[in-house]
Structure formats: C-alpha cells, structure tokens
Structure 1
Amino acid sequence: MQLNFDKEIAGRSVSLKLGFVTDPLGSRRAYNDPAVALMRAAQSHGHEVFAIQTPSLSWRRPEPGHAGGVFGEVLQMHLRPDDHDWYREVAREWRPLRFLDAVLVCIDPPADAEFFTATWLLERAEADGLRVFNRPRALREHSEKIATAEFAQFTPTTLITRHLRQLREFIDSERDVILKPVDGGEKVRVFRVHRNDRNRNAIAEALTDDGRRTIIAQRYLPEIDQGDKRILLIAGKVVPWCLARIPRAGETRGSLAAGGTGVAQELSPRDREIAETLAPQLLKRGLLLVGLDVIGDYLTGINVSHPGGMVELRQQSGFDAAGATISAIERVCGLT
C-alpha cells in the first residue's frame, strides 16, 4: 500500500551512500528491528548501506596529515533476508562520516550521557555538511515523555516531579495512577498504583530514588486494554495505520518487549487529530521519522530516536513505512 507516500524511481542510476548510526549490531533483533527494516529498505532502493556503531563515533581536530572532523568505524553491509544471519560485511574501515550522503540515527532509549554525546558529535558532522535524520539538536530537545507537555491539550492528567509530597497528593486526588521514569529503555519500569495501595509510598520513593530522580505520574487510562497505539509520522505525513500494542493478561505495559501483542488498525478520528496537529510542527524541527504513543484518546509519548512498529505494520497492513522513510530521504537528497 503506497497511498501516495512515495513513488518508485524507475531506472534509478544514482544511488546514495546511507549511513546508520546504531547501537552495537549484536543487540539488533532483525525480525522486528526498525533499524534493520530501514537498512533493508535502503538496499532494496538501490543504495549502499553503511553502519556506524555508536561506540566508534569520534572527533579529531584537523591537523596536517589528518583530515579531522567526525569519524568512526564504518561497516559497509549487504543485507540478507535471514533474520538470524541478517547481514554480510563487505568492508570495514575508520573514515570521516562526510563521505556519506546522509545518516539515519537509530539509537535505542534511554537517552543517557552517551546518547547525548552521540548527538553532539553528529551535530558537528551536520555542521560540516552531512545530512542527519533525525537532526541531532531535535533528538536532544525532545525527551520522549516530557515532550508531550508541549501538547497538553492531548495528554491525560499528568504530574512530572521528583517531589514526594506532590506525588502523594497526586495519587490521593487521581486515585488510580501510573508511575514511570521520564526516560527508559524497552522494559521501562511502569507501576500502576491505587490510592489505597500500602506500597504506594515505597514505589514512589524507589522510582524517584528518594526524591533525587524526576518521574511521571499519570492518571490511569483503562483504554490500555485496547492497546498502546504507535502512530508513525514520516516527513510530516501521518501513516494511516497504527500498531496497537495490547498488554498480555495481568500486565499494565503494552510494549512488545514486555510481552504485548501488536495489532495493526486504521487510525481513529482522534488519532488523526493528534497526529495531524503534531506532524508539521515536528517536521519543521528536523524530525523526519517520529512515533507517537496514544492510549485511548490521549498522547502519552513522542518517540524520536528509534520508533518501532514498522515491521509489524507492513506484515499486517501492507504499508511499507521503512520504504516511505527512505523515499523521503531520497527527496531531501534530490533524487526525486
């Protein structure tokens, strides 16, 4: 299903050198990994694919005998359909990133010190003329949970704080709440806490490290039983399908990493309202690929570094989000 998102480039004679800044390749689960899906799409579009693993990102001042700038260990790859043996190494060498036509950042949460360091280094590469998607500054400035505060008209009742008394009062007033860190990886610690729960204060103290770490408290949304919806935005356009991640029995979390089941479904009118409001604003900031998290009628997250769901969407709906993303990059690079 194309839906005018992208056009095939018949007889393409010019290919791009596309780099993918990624966590160590050994951590990738190729069967549903968005970075792997994007690499495979790039190769199927006729482009050369290179991986730069984040631990190798470096910068050197230009000096006689050294070109300087941002460089890394660059792995040229040939992608394979086998999810257990999904790539072949064509070549590997340390070189400046500016030989690439564009770079896609595919780094998993959490946004820790090394994540920010990678964005600072990639911003230097961008200043030297390299196209980077999503833009490094935009990655830094959009905390995936706190960024929802900018669009408060779409969020559930929420408190962001590390102050324990405020948390206690919020739980008392809302009665049934979710507590979670402001950032985290796939298996983020999410707790559902009732006003009469005897462990409520202990949970808040543990999550905040006794008031030293900020967390999010949010009114519990029973619509989670119908799924935590992932809605993709590509180059300012809204993908017409979402992936509803439905929690398994006895779970509050809907993420696939926590055992949830992904079910593709068409967007509701409210989903479209949220997505179409955010899409053009986020694109202007340099966010080409974004994943929105929506529970029921409420926005709960804005994923900007490595939004998943595109593999499952293609399998169930036929919509090729990875291919649409590569087509968008081709347009930026002047191929269409």
Structure 2
Amino acid sequence: MAPQMGLAMNKLMIFVMDPIADINFKKDSTLAIAQAAQAAGWPLAYAELSDLFIENGNAFADVQALTVFDDAKHWFELGERHTLALGSEHAIMMRKDPPFDSPFLYATHILQRAATAGALVVNNPQSLRDCNEKLFATQFPDCCPPLLVSNNLAKLRAFHQKHNDVIFKPLDGMGGSGIFRCKQSDSNLASIIEVLTDNGTDYIMAQKFIPAISAGDKRILMINGEPVEYALARIPADGELRGNLAAGGQGVAQPLTARDKEIASRVGPTLRAKGLFFVGLDVIGDYLTEINVTSPTCIREIDAAYSTNIGPRLISAIDEAFLSKKR
C-alpha cells in the first residue's frame, strides 16, 4: 500500500499533473520523472490543478502520498488526502499539459506564492507565464527561420507573397493542432488567415516552410540549460505535414548534430537564468521552431534507444538546486 502522509513532512516532491490514472504508461515523461525521484529517495505526493489554492495569502495544496511502480497494469498508488502549506521543504513539479488556459495561468500565480515561501518549483512559474512556447523561440532570431507574428491580415498575406510556401499556426496550440501549410497558389490562403486570426483579432505565427520536416521535427531535451546528447526526430506519417507524435509521427532517436548543439548552446544560458530546468527545444533542419516549457515529453523514447537516464539526470539537477536553496 502507499505510505500514509501526515500534514507535516520534511523533504517532499509534489507532482502537479493531469489525472495519473489516464496517462500512457509506456510514453509518459512525468511518470518517468516520478520513478526517478522515488528511486533517488524523494517521498512523492500527487495533486491536480484544482487542488491548489491560496488562503489568507499563503499557498496550499490538497495532496495525496504517491507511490509509483514500473508496472503497465499498476503504475501508482495514492494515500489519503491532506492539506499542505507549500514552502521550503517542497520541490514542486508543474507537469500539467497545455493548453495554457485561465486555470493554468492562475495555478502559476499560486505556485509563485509557493516559490516565495521557499518551495523549488520546476519550471519557474513566472517563466511559465512569460515564455509562450512559440513566441519564446523568437528571442533567438539567429536560430529561427523567417517568421512573422501578427494579427494583421495584410501583413500575413504579404509574408506569404514574399516566401511563397508558409506555415500558419496559432500561438496557443499543442500537438500540431491548427497548423496549416499554404503554398504559392493556395486558394485557401485568405480563409485560413481569417479563421486562425478570428478575422484579425488573434495573433498567429507565419513561418517559412522548412522542407527538412521530411527528416523529422527534432525534440532536444534540456536539463538546467544543458542538452541531452540525443534527440527524438518525429517523422511525419505519409501524406502528413506534422511530425508530432500526437499527429501520428514516428519517433526516431538520433545523436545531436553540430547545429543542434549550437542552438542548445545559444538558448541554454537563458533557460538557466529563467529557472527553466526541463525544456524541450523543437528543431527542424537547422532551425529552432518552438521552446516547450510546460511539460516536455519524449524521455521514454530517447531512453529506450540510448539508455540516457534522463529522469535520474533531471532529479540530480533538482537535488542540487534544492540543497542550494537551503544553504
């Protein structure tokens, strides 16, 4: 049975995540991180977004003790629910999947209050708010393809006219949702732009099409600003534009290229400065296209191919940061 947890505990790692009963055992990166933390001696707790709250200025969470197992039929057990004041004895893994909607936004404010009380929150709540996964990449224009972020229909049409083959995508999508490719003579151009921008209201991104997508959309995992030495290239299915695994892409692990390492080196210091411990860079060919800061995945696929032990490496970095906060 899972251990019973009282209201007061020393060192504790709390996973704020989607319902654990619904995860994909074979692929879930949050479970891989939890298993690594448990193996490293961390007591674990589980909470969902709705379990976070502020009372009289202080951050709390209704949590349950969590025990995880490497068993496809029985991968977790939960203890009784208790309320904890979040503070310096806690490391909090914010692993709620997008969308970045109002509940997610308010949760980051609650977690910011926990961080102020001394908790180590991974990733930094302020940075989760500041770093939109598509816009964040534009801070590194030397790494990105030609792109435009706008809600102006004329500017978006002009960008397409200049580059002829363009990807249009919403700024808040995930898993490849809402992505359109418009070639030079695409008769749907006006309609696509109007729909994505809600007739000029919402901002979207236009990005010059990168033919190297046929070789895969690479996910490079970054731990405290340093890249894991292998990436997962997500190769589009036949007849499909998107490489996302959620859109049917095939994952193939491969060593980082020289350009991959250059991009990681360029972005890494900013990730460390912003407290973004665990991040996924999306790279197509020689170009950075997104920086995933909410709940990056692909741990299990890369580990299975190259025994990279990504979970233990992340936990080791968290251990070091946690001890540093207490000195």
What does the per-residue CA deviation read over 1:239-281, in whole Å, with 9 as the maximum and x for residues that have no partner?
1110100010111111111110111100000000000111122
What does the per-residue CA deviation read over 1:71-114, in whole Å, with 9 as the maximum and x for residues that have no partner?
12202111021234320113322222237421111121221111
Give the aligned partner of residue 136 of structure 1: 125
Give the aligned partner of residue 45 of structure 2: 50
Deviates more, 1:91-100 or 1:154-163: 91-100
Residue identity matched to 1:32: K
Q: Which runs of 5+ in 1 are unaligned?
A: 1-14, 63-68
Contact 1:254 1:261 in 2 (8 A): yes
- TM-fit CA distance, 1:233: 0.9
Give the aligned partner of residue 3 of structure 1: none
Give the aligned partner of residue 66 of structure 1: none
Contact 2:88 2:120 in 1 (8 A): no
Residue identity matched to 2:54: W
Specify which of 300, 308, 325 is matched with residue 289 of structure 2.
Answer: 300
- TM-fit CA distance, 1:168: 1.1
Contact 1:77 1:91 in 2 (8 A): no
Deviates more, 1:45-54 or 1:310-319: 45-54
Find out whether 1:162 has 2:151 as its counterpart.
yes
Secondary structure of the equivalent of 2:99? coil
What does the per-residue CA deviation read over 1:142-183, in whole Å, with 9 as the maximum and x for residues that have no partner?
110001111001100101111111111111111111111012
Give the aligned partner of residue 251 of structure 1: 240
The root-mean-square deviation of aligned C-alpha atoms, in Å, is 1.6
Contact 2:88 2:118 in 1 (8 A): no
Give the aligned partner of residue 11 of structure 1: none
What does the per-residue CA deviation read over 1:206-233, in whole Å, with 9 as the maximum and x for residues that have no partner?
1111111111110000100100000111
Give the aligned partner of residue 228 of structure 1: 217
Q: Distance in 2 between matches of 1:231 and 1:327?
A: 19
Q: Which runs of 5+ in 2 are unaligned?
A: 1-9
Contact 2:220 2:283 in 1 (8 A): yes
Give the aligned partner of residue 281 of structure 1: 270
Q: Structure 1 stretches (4+) deviating beyond 6 angstroms? A: none
Give the aligned partner of residue 75 of structure 1: 64
Q: Distance in 2 between matches of 1:173 and 1:23?
A: 42
Find out whether 1:195 has 2:184 as its counterpart.
yes
Q: Distance in 1 between matches of 2:186 and 2:21?
A: 41
Q: Percent identity?
A: 39
Secondary structure of the equivalent of 1:293? strand
Deviates more, 1:326-335 or 1:307-316: 326-335
Q: Distance in 2 between matches of 1:173 and 1:215?
A: 17
Relative to 1, partners in 2 of residues 1:83 and 1:187: Cα closer, same or farther, differing over 3 Å?
Answer: farther
Give the aligned partner of residue 7 of structure 2: none
Residue identity matched to 2:18: D
Equivalent residues in 2 for 1:85-96, closer than 5 Å? 85-96=74-85
Q: Distance in 1 between matches of 2:242 and 2:68?
A: 32
Q: Distance in 1 between matches of 2:142 and 2:305?
A: 31
Give the aligned partner of residue 209 of structure 1: 198
Secondary structure of the equivalent of 1:334? helix
Q: Distance in 2 between matches of 1:197 and 1:148?
A: 27
Contact 2:218 2:284 in 1 (8 A): yes
Q: Distance in 1 between matches of 2:88 and 2:76?
A: 22
Residue identity matched to 2:323: G
Q: How many residues align?
A: 316
The TM-score with structure 1 as length reference comes to: 0.90
Secondary structure of the equivalent of 2:228? strand
Give the aligned partner of residue 14 of structure 2: 19
Residue identity matched to 1:22: M
The TM-score with structure 2 as length reference comes to: 0.93
Q: Distance in 2 between matches of 1:292 and 1:236?
A: 11
Q: Distance in 1 between matches of 2:113 and 2:14?
A: 16
Deviates more, 1:240-249 or 1:87-96: 87-96
Residue identity matched to 1:91: E
Find out whether 1:334 has 2:323 as its counterpart.
yes
Residue identity matched to 1:153: D
